Amino acid sequence: MEEIKLYAILECPSCHSRYKREMPKKSKDLSSHCVFCGEVYSVNHEEDCCIYCKHSNTKCPEKMKLNERINENT
Ligand SMILES: [Zn+2]
Ligand SMILES: [Zn+2]
């Protein structure tokens, strides 16, 4: 069985460097560690879904699925 890996390009809010990180399919990442400046930044789960939805170029797998479902219904 082939596993599809999902990657996001995260942008550090502190130094604005971009780096790639693999997204977990089942859990949500609420914080990330910038590989360039060492900043650990996080999101407030009550306001934002996860670190990928807020600080990356893509949405997390869960949000992507929700969007697909919305598109199917319209
Ligand atoms: Zn940084
Ligand atoms: Zn998310």
Domain spans of the chain?
A: 7-73
pLDDT, mean of residues 9-27: 94
**Closest to 14 measured CA to CA, from 55, 57, 67, 69:** 55
Instruction: Return the ∠ at Cα 54 (arms to 18 and 40), rounded to 5°.
Output: 60
Interval between CA 60 and ligand 2 midpoint (Å): 4
**Ion ligand 2 residues within 5 Å by Cβ:** 49-50, 53, 60, 63
pLDDT category at 74 given cuts 50, 70, 90 is: low
Interval between CA 21 and ligand 1 midpoint (Å): 14
The percentage of residues in the chain with a pLDDT greater than 90, rounded to a whole number, is 65
User: What confidence score (pLDDT) does residue 27 get?
Assistant: 84
Q: What global pTM score does this model have? A: 0.83
Q: Residues 42, 50: contact at Cβ < 8 Å?
A: no
User: What confidence score (pLDDT) does residue 70 get?
Assistant: 76
Classify the phi-psi angles of 33: left when phi > 0, otherwise alpha if psi is within -120 to 50, otherwise beta: beta
Q: Could you tell me which residue, 67 or 35, shows the higher pLDDT?
A: 35
